[in-house]
Structure 1
Amino acid sequence: MFGFFKRKKNDEDPLSDLKTVSRWMQNLPAGDIYSAQEQVVQSLIQFNHAGLGMSKERLQVLMHLDEQARDMQFSLCGQYLRNPRMSKVIESRLWTAIHAFYWEITRGYHAFLMDFVANPGGSKIQAVVPTITARALRGFADIFKWRYFRYEKVEEKLWLRLHNLYRISEFDGFQNNRFKLYPSDTSSSSCTEEYVQALLLSPLGAGSLTPKQIEMVDHWLDNWSEHTTLDASFDAERHYYLVDTNKGQGLRHIRAGVNEPTYRYLATDQVLEHLRQIERALKSGAAPVTLGLGEEFRLPDGYDLLQYVANEWAPVGERERRVSPRQPVQGRWEVLRDLSSICNRMSRESEIASGPSSRQTLSPDEILDIKLYGFVTERTKSAYQQRSQQPQEIPLERWPLHDRSDTGLGIVLQGEDSDWVKVGKLLALRMDPGDIWHLAIIRRLTRIENNQRKIGLQTLNGVAQLVQLQQEQAHELGYAVEDGSYGNTAPSMGLIFPELEQGNLIILETARYAHGRVFQMMQQTSERYIRLESARDKGDGWLMATYATVG
């Protein structure tokens, strides 16, 4: 899996002893974190494949390297999470580097623990077994989390290794001992807390959250250990979930009162109450950061995330269920992705259908000419005619339909087809080239057997109509959702839904949104001024908001 990292056979082993690894870490390229971490992973691969004894000295080397490389690893993780729209090549390189470090470090700790279990009396690492057990539990949790980022399913053998590590801590009686796993940690933890955190995150890795959302919830769980308990005996009043430590899977709901020696029962009643208290505090005006939600937490979107998490941890009888059942269907859909491609395609098809003589809307260049000169220049007219005569290649794919409901569609893709797919993407779909386009949002992505991916789409009711938007600077009232939007006054396109009962809704580029911002909105036969109001939803490069007509 990690052939990207090549070992250099002739180099001196930098992990031969504690002094050597300390000196080697100091000489890593300080200005290139990616290259430095790549060298760390190369050395870890060599360390794990060396076939040498599990000595106390070698364990000290592994622990020291782990501690010293943490800052570089966290920096790479931050780069990944801050750039959700990076190219597939860059995303793959960065993800592989991050995952490989967690994999090799955890693999090293696991090997030492298995050697200790096989010969506890003759081992010299007894004193640090609780520490490396907790680190290995956290390592497996990190591996799982980063696989969730790619909507991958965690293999059964990895779940069994995680369960086995916790059983080791129980057998030796140190599962609840609290200590700092790393010198840089700000708080203490325990094997139970690390294990429970991995378990609680497992229902959230089913493919409905973005990597940034999963990371946010994982950060919350760092500080919520006092709100959860793991027990060996079943209590029907408190236990909603169980984990079978003999099976390669995560949490599952308790549907009947059962007691088995291999079962462990998780109580989520307190953490659910904590979530309710947080939501009440937010609605009372408390700042999210003071509630431990982190600096990345934003309202009103944050309410949806809190409610989603609470629903995943709730008892079976209290969970929201699918309103409309899915029915198997067949067929293939034409698919467009991203707001700009959707708008351009709709604009082009409208021009072809109407003919050039009946074109009612002005292009952004024509609008700019009128604002500057009071008329459309010959150069702009000529440029428009040349563009209209050239075929415009807008990416279009055909997806097989798997199932359908009143509110959504299910698609199954083979292999790595459409590798751009991720939660939050805006799509336009239609069965036949003569049909109108229907908008949908990718809400769920799950990897299933035979390397297939099941994609859950939420369809948007109502027919979308194309509009042009020109920002009115004199009416500016609000704040943009992204810093990059300041001064961005060029004309743009958006989509409205005049037939929806929910009121006036518009989809526009994320960077164009600010509460209270005024736009001149132009359609084929009319124009008016609108003021943006509250944001309702958003995803990769798009945002849905309500608006009011002004003037």
Structure 2
Amino acid sequence: MHNIFSAIFSKDKSPFVNAKAATAWCKRLQETDTQSQQLKIHAAITAFMSEGRVATLDSLQALLLIDDAVQSSYEAVCYQYIVNPRMSKDIESRLWKQITSFAADMSSVYQLFVQSEMEGSKKAELALLMPKVLARSLHYLSIQAKWHYFRFEKVPPKLWTLSHQLYRISEIEGCDSNPFPLYPSHLNEVTSCADEYIQMLMLGSLSNNNLSVRQIDWVDYWLNQWSKLIQLSRKFQEGRYHLCVNLQAAEGVQKIQAESEGEPFRYWSLHDLMRELEDVLRRLDNGATPRDLGMGKECPAPLAVELLKHLDLFWSMSIRNSVVQRSERKKVAKIADIISGLDSIITHVRADNDKNTRRGLGDDRGKGDYDEVMDMRLYGFVSTRIKEKGGYSKILENRQQDWQVWSVENESVGGYGAVVHLSENEWVRPGLLLANRLGRNENWHLGVIRRLNRLGDDEVYVGIQSLALTPIAVNLYLEKENRREQISLAANASLGVVDLPDVRSALYLPHQMDGKNVNTLILHSADYGTDKIYRVQARERVFMVRLGAVIEKGVDWVWVTVFVISQE
């Protein structure tokens, strides 16, 4: 009854009068449902801003209290959206608008206090609250960006512009790294303006990775912890940093270019983040659960491992791309057959190898003898034994088509770009291995997806780097004894026609590193081990090789250097 009369006779019903008014208003607010709560807050904020009220210290303290009070219900609405991927379009649209509108309201009202000017003691008190004001503003901008990623939409440029400005203000105020809990409900989680900004930037770096809503949310949760491992620097040091952001550009993360130097830019390294990620993977492999590692209660270990491997691969590519320049591209209009999956690629490449070997050296449009390529690359000389190979059946002759057809729109020395329908290619991810051919009579070439860019609801641009034009399928037999003398040549005389136990498949790639030709294999991740010795069989040829350093790794494949020990 007292509250009713207070509401009737109050001269100012706005909850932004002071902390006392806000506390009473929030108490009444808790008695309503979540939808009504956010509608009332929206109305109060709209009235506060439209009436041109002065941003005072009392109104700021009221805003912080209201923001604290509504967090549990707001997080519940966000959770409802994230865990219901199959909700109807109407429900999805309503929740999306509710979540993003509230975040926009809160970031807008916080802006009034960022821009306010107070005098005397009030100015000093405002300065004490400013780190939290800036961090919460960045937090709400990050929520808006995240919900755009859920729909595979680009973040509106104004969000990036505003986030850059807020972070720059925190630098000027000298509070960018001041640690504190963002909300009372998260007292055990310490953040800062820099942490909120970095979290937004790093989640943006994954926005074109074709991740599901749940995967994006998990990564965002992990970045809440991992952002502490990244430090932004004003001064560029070549070889040390991998990504940058331009505080004067209306966009997020950028690759470091020759012109990416000067005051507007901030740089950071991914090495500490990658070490933490690899440590988490190792602990999960050793039996720890995601919950034990603070990765969330609802993230199953197999899904966490798969997603972590993808992040490891993608950010490793970012490190690599920081020193690799793209070749100039030219527009084309071509159709390419595309296959994915290492086993499927090996099967098709093996058929190519057999077909070209039987044609003979220089026959049929100048295609070379694959046996000779193996001689030259793996053993260092070209043998005089060039003969026709027969008896190897066309294993794909009656096989049902297992490839996709993509439209290639540009080419360069280093690769090509294609536009595909996502509904038919939901599996595309950066770091996936592909094989392509531009005609049914052409050979399969090997490549890897480097980047994705969402063009529309069902269109995505795929950037592919070419790895090899003449990959060679080989069999691997694990050599359990390192002593070469124990290997019986007679026992291996029939390797061309008999499968030995413990056989594996891989691809041989001619490759150049630092201007030198090196021997490399792409094999299944489970088959890799430092200094492992394998017997490599390419048709009748057999080589003993030792695995060397990793050049690159995918979720289920690894590309390594090999050292030839001997030929059998």
What is the rounded CA distance, in whole Å, between the counterparts of 1:328 and 1:111 in structure 2?
52
The residue aligned with 1:454 is: 459
410, 418, 438: which one aligns with 2:419: 410
Letter in 2 for 1:248: A
The residue aligned with 1:141 is: 142
What is the rounded CA distance, in whole Å, between the counterparts of 1:255 and 1:275 in structure 2?
26
What is the rounded CA distance, in whole Å, between the counterparts of 1:422 and 1:173 in structure 2?
47
The residue aligned with 1:18 is: 19
Answer yes or no: is the 8 Å Cα contact 2:270–2:319 preserved in 1. Answer: no
SS at match of 1:289: coil
Task: Check 1:401–1:318 CA distance in 2 against 1; reply closer, same or farther (3 A cut).
Answer: closer
229, 242, 249: which one aligns with 1:227: 229
Task: Check 1:14–1:121 CA distance in 2 against 1; reply closer, same or farther (3 A cut).
Answer: closer
Deviation by residue 1:10-42 (Cα, 9 ceiling, x = unmatched)? x95444443333222222364632232232223
The residue aligned with 2:70 is: 69
The residue aligned with 1:125 is: 126
SS at match of 2:185: coil
The residue aligned with 1:171 is: 172
The residue aligned with 1:209 is: 211
Letter in 2 for 1:113: V
The residue aligned with 1:284 is: 286
Deviation by residue 1:87-108 (Cα, 9 ceiling, x = unmatched)? 0101111111111111111111
Answer yes or no: is the 8 Å Cα contact 1:244–1:264 preserved in 2. Answer: yes
Deviation by residue 1:132-165 (Cα, 9 ceiling, x = unmatched)? 1111121211221111112121122221111111
Identity over aligned pairs, percent: 31
The residue aligned with 1:150 is: 151
Task: Check 1:190–1:283 CA distance in 2 against 1; reply closer, same or farther (3 A cut).
Answer: same
Task: Check 1:457–1:48 CA distance in 2 against 1; reply closer, same or farther (3 A cut).
Answer: same
Offset, 1:266: 1.1
Deviation by residue 1:92-137 (Cα, 9 ceiling, x = unmatched)? 1111111111111111112211224x98998462221121111112
253, 256, 259: which one aligns with 2:255: 253
Structure ID, larger Rg = 2
Greater shift in the superposed pair: 221-230 or 72-81: 221-230
Deviation by residue 1:57-91 (Cα, 9 ceiling, x = unmatched)? 11122111111100110111111111110001011
What is the rounded CA distance, in whole Å, between the counterparts of 2:333 and 2:121 in structure 1?
59
Answer yes or no: is the 8 Å Cα contact 1:311–1:319 preserved in 2. Answer: no
The residue aligned with 1:191 is: 193
Task: Check 1:207–1:201 CA distance in 2 against 1; reply closer, same or farther (3 A cut).
Answer: same
SS at match of 2:262: coil
Task: Check 1:21–1:315 CA distance in 2 against 1; reply closer, same or farther (3 A cut).
Answer: same
The residue aligned with 2:532 is: none
Greater shift in the superposed pair: 121-130 or 164-173: 121-130
* Residue pairs, 1:78-89, within 5 angstroms: 78-89=79-90
Offset, 1:327: 6.4
What is the rounded CA distance, in whole Å, between the counterparts of 2:461 and 2:167 in structure 1?
35
The residue aligned with 2:370 is: none
What is the rounded CA distance, in whole Å, between the counterparts of 1:101 and 1:182 in structure 2?
17
Letter in 1 for 2:191: S
Aligned residues: 356
Using the size of structure 1 for normalisation, the TM-score is 0.57
Task: Check 1:121–1:156 CA distance in 2 against 1; reply closer, same or farther (3 A cut).
Answer: farther
What is the rounded CA distance, in whole Å, between the counterparts of 1:246 and 1:263 in structure 2?
8
Task: Check 1:410–1:257 CA distance in 2 against 1; reply closer, same or farther (3 A cut).
Answer: closer
What is the rounded CA distance, in whole Å, between the counterparts of 2:462 and 2:172 in structure 1?
46
Offset, 1:236: 2.7
Offset, 1:453: 5.9
What is the rounded CA distance, in whole Å, between the counterparts of 1:422 and 1:33 in structure 2?
38
* Residue pairs, 1:88-487, within 5 angstroms: 88-116=89-117, 123=123, 125-185=126-186, 186-206=188-208, 208-256=210-258, 259-314=261-316, 316=318, 318=320, 328=333, 403=408, 410-411=419-420, 448=455, 454-455=459-460
SS at match of 1:161: helix
Greater shift in the superposed pair: 219-228 or 63-72: 219-228
SS at match of 2:149: helix
Answer yes or no: is the 8 Å Cα contact 1:234–1:257 preserved in 2. Answer: no
SS at match of 1:115: coil
What is the rounded CA distance, in whole Å, between the counterparts of 1:46 and 1:326 in structure 2?
53
Deviation by residue 1:374-424 (Cα, 9 ceiling, x = unmatched)? xxxxxxxxxxxxxxxxxxxxxxxxxx98658999973579xxxxxx99967
Letter in 2 for 1:196: I
Structure 2 residues without counterparts, runs of 5 or longer: 1-11, 336-404, 429-449, 464-503, 506-554, 557-568
Offset, 1:172: 1.6
The residue aligned with 1:50 is: 51
Task: Check 1:149–1:316 CA distance in 2 against 1; reply closer, same or farther (3 A cut).
Answer: closer
Structure 1 residues without counterparts, runs of 5 or longer: 1-10, 331-399, 414-419, 426-442, 459-500, 503-535, 538-551
Q: CA RMSD in A?
A: 4.0
The residue aligned with 2:466 is: none
What is the rounded CA distance, in whole Å, between the counterparts of 1:223 and 1:181 in structure 2?
13
Task: Check 1:98–1:317 CA distance in 2 against 1; reply closer, same or farther (3 A cut).
Answer: closer
What is the rounded CA distance, in whole Å, between the counterparts of 1:88 and 1:444 in structure 2?
29
Task: Check 1:278–1:319 CA distance in 2 against 1; reply closer, same or farther (3 A cut).
Answer: farther
SS at match of 1:291: coil
What is the rounded CA distance, in whole Å, between the counterparts of 1:226 and 1:252 in structure 2?
20
Using the size of structure 2 for normalisation, the TM-score is 0.55
What is the rounded CA distance, in whole Å, between the counterparts of 2:93 and 2:81 in structure 1?
10
What is the rounded CA distance, in whole Å, between the counterparts of 2:25 and 2:227 in structure 1?
37
What is the rounded CA distance, in whole Å, between the counterparts of 2:96 and 2:426 in structure 1?
17
What is the rounded CA distance, in whole Å, between the counterparts of 1:33 and 1:261 in structure 2?
45
Offset, 1:445: 8.3
Deviation by residue 1:434-484 (Cα, 9 ceiling, x = unmatched)? xxxxxxxxx998554xx77633699xxxxxxxxxxxxxxxxxxxxxxxxxx
Letter in 1 for 2:198: V
The residue aligned with 2:441 is: none
Task: Check 1:233–1:408 CA distance in 2 against 1; reply closer, same or farther (3 A cut).
Answer: closer
Answer yes or no: is the 8 Å Cα contact 1:404–1:410 preserved in 2. Answer: yes
What is the rounded CA distance, in whole Å, between the counterparts of 1:218 and 1:120 in structure 2?
40
What is the rounded CA distance, in whole Å, between the counterparts of 1:329 and 1:164 in structure 2?
44
